[in-house]
Structure 1
Amino acid sequence: MMALTALLPLGFLFVILIGIPLCVGICVYRDAKARGMEPVLWTLVAVLVPSFIGLIVYLIVRSSHTASVCAHCGAAVQDSFVCCPSCGAKLKYTCPACGKPVDDDWKLCAHCGAELDADRPRTVVRREAGSLKWLWIVLIGIALVFVALILLAMLNYTTAFHQGMTTAVIDIA
């Protein structure tokens, strides 16, 4: 029972120093990659900046990045791209009147007011990047491990306390 007590601090240390940053890093990497952001950079920021400040900054910045993909090849593209860097497909139509780029969902050109063809096919598909639902599942799992370690420590302490009391009662008798 004493060896188990010696391992409890190591379990806490492992969960705090390795488990939580590893889970946060995996979640941020996958989410940043799905959103077309720089995954390695954001993973390093989220994991290495202390007190979860890096993770908070990432969560604020990520909200402005939606994942868009080319309708032709499925490659990740940014809203500012005019053509797909992977397949070269045109990502923005141009207004027939003024020649300026227009978005897929526009009915009128914002630059000159000309009516746009409503039947034109979509060039960019916006998809919602994966939610961080599984991050919450992992964090809840880590919290449950914490609770289990604390309960185990309390059980070990009370067992040792009662054994000590039994020994004290026998010594008195």
Structure 2
Amino acid sequence: MNNIKNKKILLYIGILIILLLIFLRFGLYFLKSDGFSGLSMLLPALLLFFNIFTVCTCAFFAAWVYQDCKKRGDDALLWAFIVFIATPFIGLLLYFLRRSETKETCPTCGHKISLKANYCEECGTPVKKEDHNVMVKQETHHLKFIVAGIISMALMLICLMGFMVYASTGNGVNTNITSNKRVWNTGVINMNYNTYIDDIWKLDFKNATAGFVKEQTMTITDADTQLLHADISCGTVPDEATLVLWLVQADVTKFVDVTNLSDPLKYPLDEFENGKIYVRLQINGVENTVSEIYIK
């Protein structure tokens, strides 16, 4: 009994740790991205609750499988873990394909035996068949776990659909390239790498959705003497394709077409103030592009 109780405690602690990790992940991202700048709080909230309800759905169905396994004499903790990790959809499918028949307890030794057995495999005690010929009303056990799992799944899907619809319509998402907030994209980019180390932004991408904006926040320490250095090479430039470099700080916005740079760009920053500045690359059809941008 104590062993079963300890296993339940470990399972509850594991679920709690997963929930805490989800909150920690969002917290770290919040700090790293300047508080979701340029994004309506409804979107991260929907994503957060989607993750929470996903964990709850897995936990409730795993709890039901745990109880069902105990009733059938299977390894309850193992199957509960499989259902929780593999998501209810895959986990439950695997479980029901593998699910063993209901067993009864041998009155002599307590060993779990099949209802179809003529004797106990453990101690050899004969089993009276007349007890199995009586029709017994079958009820779904631990129905509360199934109901809670279905409710959690419904809420999970509602959050996911709400996130997708809200994001696809552009509501609450800043896509204004001249904005003094972070720009968010609804498109995609196929990158080789994107790093910002030692105040040097290196971006290497293969292609991107038309109008995709990739940005990096940099810092100006001496606007009168510093320059923005940009060494950019576009490997493939289809007709009418462009790559535009944007510099945005408060109400000051500057842009330069860097599609066909023959030499590295050195752009003066005397029109800006010391402090944070958004450096953005607007990708309009160029492909196989390598760039290195820094302020010095």
When normalised by structure 2's length, the TM-score is: 0.32
Higher helix share: 1
- For residues 101 and 82 of structure 2, the distance between their equivalents in structure 1, rounded to whole angstroms, comes to 17
1:109 corresponds to which residue? none
CA distance in 1, matches of 2:149, 2:61: 9
Structure 2: how far apart are the matches of 1:6 and 1:71?
Answer: 56
Residue in 2 aligned with 1:136? Answer: 146
Q: Structure 2: 5+ residue runs without aligned partners? A: 1-39, 115-119, 173-296
Q: Which residue in 2 is equivalent to 1:78?
A: 113
Secondary structure (helix, strand or coil) at the match of 1:81 reads: coil
Aligned match of 2:68: 31
1:10 aligned partner: 48
Runs ≥4 residues deviating over 6 A: 126-129, 150-155
Q: Is the 8 A contact 1:66 1:129 kept in 2?
A: no
Q: What one-letter code is carried by the residue in structure 1 that aligns with 2:70?
A: K
Deviations 1:126-145 (A, max 9, x none): 99685364343123211442
Looking at structure 1, the residues matched to 125 and 139 of structure 2 have their Cα atoms a distance apart, in angstroms, of 21
In structure 2, the residue matched to 1:104 is: 128
Alignment of 1:84-163 (within 5 A): 92-93=125-126, 103-105=127-129, 131=141, 133-146=143-156, 149=159
Alpha-carbon RMSD across the aligned residues, in angstroms, is 4.1
1:68 corresponds to which residue?
Answer: 104
Shift of 1:39: 0.7
Q: Distance in 1 between matches of 2:63 and 2:77?
A: 10
Aligned identity (percent) is 21
More strand by share: 2
Residues 132 and 59 of structure 1: CA distance in aligned 2, closer, same or farther (over 3 Å): farther
Instruction: State yes or no: 1:41 paired with 2:41.
Output: no
Bigger RCO (CA 8 Å, 6+ sep): 1
Matched to 1:30, the amino acid is: Q
* Preserved CA contact (<8 Å) 1:66 1:127: no
Q: Report the residue type matching 2:47 in the other structure.
A: P
User: What does the per-residue CA deviation read over 1:20-54, in whole Å, with 9 as the maximum and x for residues that have no partner?
Assistant: 22122211111101211111121222223367333
Which has the higher Rg, Structure 1 or Structure 2?
Answer: 2
2: CA distance, partners of 1:49 / 1:147: 17
Say if 1:34 and 1:21 are closer, same or farther in 2 by CA, change over 3 A: same
**Alpha-carbon distance change, 127 to 45 in structure 1, aligned in 2, over 3 angstroms:** farther
Q: Distance in 2 between matches of 1:58 and 1:77?
A: 19
The secondary structure found in structure 1 opposite 2:129 is coil
Name the CA distance, whole Å, in 1 between partners of 2:86 and 2:153. 21
Q: TM-score, normalised by structure 1?
A: 0.51
| Alpha-carbon distance, 1:82 to partner | 4.1
Deviation per CA, 1:124-168: give whole Å up to 9, x if none. Answer: xx996853643431232114424664797779xx9x79xxxxxxx
Cα gap change, 1:44 to 1:15, in 2 (>3 Å):
same
Q: Is the CA contact 1:33–1:39 (under 8 Å) kept in the aligned structure 2?
A: yes
1:151 & 1:82 partners in 2: Cα distance?
53
